[in-house]
Amino acid sequence: MALKELITKARTCRRFKGDITLSAETLASFIDCARLSASARNAQCLRYVTVTDAETRAAMNGLVVLGGALTPEQRATDAQRPGAYIVICGPDKMDDFATMDVGIAAQSINLAACEAGFRTCMIGAVKKDEAAALLGLPEELKVKLVLALGASDEEVRLVERREDGKLIYYRDANDVHCVPKITLEEAIILNK
Ligand SMILES: Cc1cc2nc3c(=O)[nH]c(=O)nc-3n(C[C@H](O)[C@H](O)[C@H](O)COP(=O)(O)O)c2cc1C
């Protein structure tokens, strides 16, 4: 798949086919792409936890919010929970540069998962301390970002900025998840 096609396809997913799970080996292959990605000062301070077993996945489901801007009816049902989680961890104190590593790693995982036919949801809305306790993280590591992964069970479409000017995602009348993106003209502010 060409890179732009992959990036366009790799949309956030919040409703998954709940009966399709991912193995630790599959998750490791995605994390391998994160491991090889750019890192500020090449410090590589991030570490990863894979969550595949049913009990821990179920517990994680209760610690994250997928689709905070959606109504409860628009969110996943119990049959549409993620097939796995990857938890990105790092030291408590991370400066701006180190924090950028988290986003770069997350997108590498997102693209690798998409290429393999899966979708992800990057999740900042996670009860971080509770997740750390659940996973048994070593004291020196904190939860930075969680990725839910699985086979998509929803239709997603990129759309233009909403008529009211807002960029918040929404479900249309056909239950299609719409994600407004700014135009290239709006993105590039200067050509010198
Ligand atoms: C750092 C970060 C944190 C995010 N946290 C959440 C979250 O807690 N819950 C959620 O449902 N989506 C979360 N998202 C997903 C965004 O809502 C999503 O990227 C946005 O709606 C655009 O959709 P797209 O990824 O398909 O382009 C997060 C994305 C990023 C980059």
pTM: 0.98
Reported as a single tens digit per residue, the pLDDT across 42-73 is 999 999 999 999 999 999 999 999 999 999 99
Tell me the fold of 155-192: putative fmn-dependent nitroreductase like fold (2.20.180)
Ligand 1 residue neighbourhood (C-beta within 6 Å)? 11-12, 14, 65-68, 121-125, 169, 179
* Confidence band, pLDDT 50/70/90 cuts, at residue 1: confident
CATH of 3-154, one of 3.30.160.110, 3.40.109.10, 3.30.450.40, 3.90.180.10: 3.40.109.10
88-111: per-residue pLDDT in tens? 999 999 999 999 999 999 999 999
Q: Could you write out the DSSP letters of every residue in 20-41? A: ----HHHHHHHHHHHHTS--GG
Q: So what's the pLDDT on residue 181?
A: 98
Residues of the chain with CATH 2.20.180.10: 155-192
Q: Give the distance (Å) from ligand 1 centre to CA of residue 11.
A: 9
For residue 169, give the ligand 1 atom closest to its CA.
21
173, containing H or E segment? none
In angstroms, the CA 33 to CA 50 distance is 14
Can you tell me the distance from the alpha carbon of 89 to that of 98, in angstroms, rounded to the nearest whole number?
Answer: 12
Which part of the chain has CATH 3.40.109.10? Answer: 3-154
